[in-house]
Structure 1
């Protein structure tokens, strides 16, 4: 938003808001476009500012309306429906505007205090609830930035979900086989106007235009589809809402898939698995789909994240998952209920450098993360009957990846070995590491999926 807004009097700001309210309502009702409604009306003041704010509200109107509806405001106060347009502006300013974010939101509330208007007071009261709803929607859809919600009708959406704007990631959706089949999903996409191609056909340049509405079957993971164009709008797709498909970055699918490759056909019905650090639950639900006949214990120690995890398991149909509000490090590996644990998926907190976070991370923080990661990994080794352990991060830092693998292997005292997993994936760990060739690395620029690292340990 233009900086001049900060210099406006409260009365002028409120008038601009009223203009934006009216214009955006007309646009969404199909009564004109924002350019004409703004610039061809001589009564509009601050035309540039009105247009700029209006286009931003329109860009995010889908997710804003979701937030408003899920907040329950209209049920609690039906009279607010007449103020829907103004509510959109307030939600935009609080969650997406220049003063959004916990560090600057107080400046927005101070500005609003100068205008005696009940909706502004309501916004301050509802802010935390709105913020939680936005976070849950990003988690549910696998989005890592707000711009993934942008309605391409009003602006060209950035197609990448990576913090580096030079990296254009492919958008993937995973078929949730707990609820549907690949054939049903392909048919529904075709009904929406998408063409279907297998990977080999799409690899032929003459046969594939990434700007056309297309779904492409992935060449490594049978339940994964690449979605083109990569700014395809997922938010209101019925298959997303019903959890028939789940927005899931390709590299993030590797840990469950690699455990499946190691143990497929080898587990009895009484055998179970553990997801040690589960929330938000994308990997958990995939593991549940791959091992649908086996019980999975999913651990999460944070209450809010646990609620997200539990809700996602319910919605995705993962009935074989038992969510546990516990710190995995405090579990007793010798507890009788864990005697049949044959695999553990460990994806601990990390720097996030593979998705653009922590590009300038301090060495001391890396080492602190490394200590926790190693502690979690060595705890996995203590489960007496575990056969396979996957260790993964969304980091590109050696300290969190190959180094943790090396130290973990040494700490296992010869009980475990590193498996040369996923040999068909061409990009391996660092050559300087003695375990590098056995590890899987993903580079966002090269592979067009988020940066990632995964390795599998197997009991000797």
Structure 2
């Protein structure tokens, strides 16, 4: 029932204008944020249909204590989702009205002369073909198990293992209870897109992580050696942090930061379930972390995955407005500050910058700007040559970056750049470029109030 209550709360927050979908989901405190995000997104997509069903079946008139937002979530899952899985009185209530709701749904289809649920939606609400073809990716958590054991477990549950994929077409053709080993990442299993594993024992015990393939790229490409000291600058909800811990084999040290207390709580829950040790999780704005603090003197690898527009997420609400030019400029300014700050750590050798955005302003433009600020201190690394989708050719070397998209890589939209310290011409933190010094220490998130300083105030420049 916690899932439905959390979804109803997010819907209510959206109606009151308390924030965007992504921020409300991450601030909800619910442990499984992607599951919650997907449920709310789908409920919103079907909202006009659900309102007509509730009205036609007179559900809210019959059940006056049932909040409208909770009614929408329950009826969505009952008629369009996986079926109501909660217990208690709400489950009994919605099932008591099941016959009336199904009859009203049938009448609606007859009136509109359609046969599929999807046909009830307006064209702009329908799921795009690229969204429906993104498979369910499952990262094996090697802190607790191994790929072979997970494969054997699923086989015992009636799934058919088809071996290692050799093409994206094989992933696209998956159906039923069949799965593959990914063709690019060695610890990633691939299931049909509609596979729901949130109640699977392997997931609830932390033996597998439900994580999109593109989201696995940052830690995979950072590739710190066991025993390394690593920073995850913007850690919530924790999937990439747990991936880093698995790569490190729980040896070494991870410093993970997030400014929001609810997101930190969510991250802590995920890391505990995944068996992560050797990670110091702090509720702190990464921009306030002092690179010269002796505790970070051995940090050689940093993962920077800052707040972004989220334009690459295939679970975005249909019809959601694209970010304005002003919003993109504010996000890009924040992203540049975080990336520049990360590059100022004195022992840094390798850094990954990533976003789940499709916009050049948040991706290639940010990387180009920061590299120009740092002169010859850092360079872009050409990595993962077998990856089919590269950065936009907007500056020399941009093809070293990686991009991902539903159409080209069967993943969420993503961007990844790998930067390494140049042995010659590296700038020490004490001799940072002027532009970098100016950017370091400015505000925490785009659009937030400025932080107060002892001598003067500084504002986030949007």
Q: TM-score, normalised by structure 1?
A: 0.66
- Does residue 3 of structure 1 match 2:15? no
Quote how far apart the aligned CAs of 1:83 are: 6.8
- Residue 283 (structure 1) aligns with: 240
Q: Compare CA radii of gyration and give the structure with the larger one.
A: 1
Task: Go from structure 1 to structure 2 and tell me whether the alpha carbon gap of 1:59 and 1:183 turns closer, same or farther (over 3 Å shift).
Answer: closer
Contact 1:299 1:323 survives alignment (8 Å): yes
State the SS of the aligned residue for 1:225: strand
Task: Go from structure 1 to structure 2 and tell me whether the alpha carbon gap of 1:355 and 1:89 turns closer, same or farther (over 3 Å shift).
Answer: farther
1:248 paired residue among 201, 211, 214: 211
Quote how far apart the aligned CAs of 1:88 are: 7.9
Task: Go from structure 1 to structure 2 and tell me whether the alpha carbon gap of 1:53 and 1:314 turns closer, same or farther (over 3 Å shift).
Answer: closer
1:86 paired residue among 66, 80, 93: 93
| Aligned-CA RMSD value | 3.3
Q: Matched residues in 1 for 2:214 and 2:172: separation?
A: 23
Quote how far apart the aligned CAs of 1:321 are: 1.4
Quote how far apart the aligned CAs of 1:434 are: 2.0
Aligned length: 336
- Residue 189 (structure 1) aligns with: 154
Contact 2:388 2:408 survives alignment (8 Å): no
- Residue 382 (structure 1) aligns with: 344
Contact 2:54 2:60 survives alignment (8 Å): no
State the SS of the aligned residue for 1:174: strand
1:221-260 aligned within 5 A: 221-228=185-192, 230-260=193-223
Task: Go from structure 1 to structure 2 and tell me whether the alpha carbon gap of 1:367 and 1:191 turns closer, same or farther (over 3 Å shift).
Answer: same
Q: Matched residues in 1 for 2:288 and 2:308: separation?
A: 20
Quote how far apart the aligned CAs of 1:342 are: 0.4
- Residue 308 (structure 2) aligns with: 350
1:54-453 aligned within 5 A: 55-56=78-79, 59-62=82-85, 64-65=86-87, 85-86=92-93, 164-167=127-130, 168=132, 169-200=134-165, 210-228=174-192, 230-260=193-223, 263-264=224-225, 269=227, 271-292=228-249, 293-356=251-314, 357=316, 360-453=322-415
Q: Matched residues in 2 for 1:202 and 1:456: separation?
A: 25
Contact 1:295 1:321 survives alignment (8 Å): yes
Quote how far apart the aligned CAs of 1:194 are: 1.2
Q: Matched residues in 1 for 2:382 and 2:238: separation?
A: 26
- Residue 108 (structure 2) aligns with: none
Provide Cα deviations, 1:204-233, integer angstroms capped at 9, x if missing partner: 87x9962242221111111101013x2122
Contact 1:280 1:305 survives alignment (8 Å): yes
Provide Cα deviations, 1:171-213, integer angstroms capped at 9, x if missing partner: 10000001111111011010011122233467787x9962242
Contact 1:427 1:440 survives alignment (8 Å): yes
Contact 1:377 1:391 survives alignment (8 Å): yes
Q: Matched residues in 2 for 1:10 and 1:173: separation?
A: 38
Quote how far apart the aligned CAs of 1:427 are: 1.3
Q: Matched residues in 2 for 1:238 and 1:198: separation?
A: 22
- Residue 113 (structure 1) aligns with: none
Q: Matched residues in 1 for 2:219 and 2:77: separation?
A: 43
Q: Matched residues in 2 for 1:445 and 1:359: separation?
A: 21
Task: Go from structure 1 to structure 2 and tell me whether the alpha carbon gap of 1:52 and 1:339 turns closer, same or farther (over 3 Å shift).
Answer: closer
Q: Matched residues in 1 for 2:295 and 2:198: separation?
A: 40
Q: Matched residues in 2 for 1:61 and 1:430: separation?
A: 44
State the SS of the aligned residue for 1:197: strand
Quote how far apart the aligned CAs of 1:322 are: 1.3
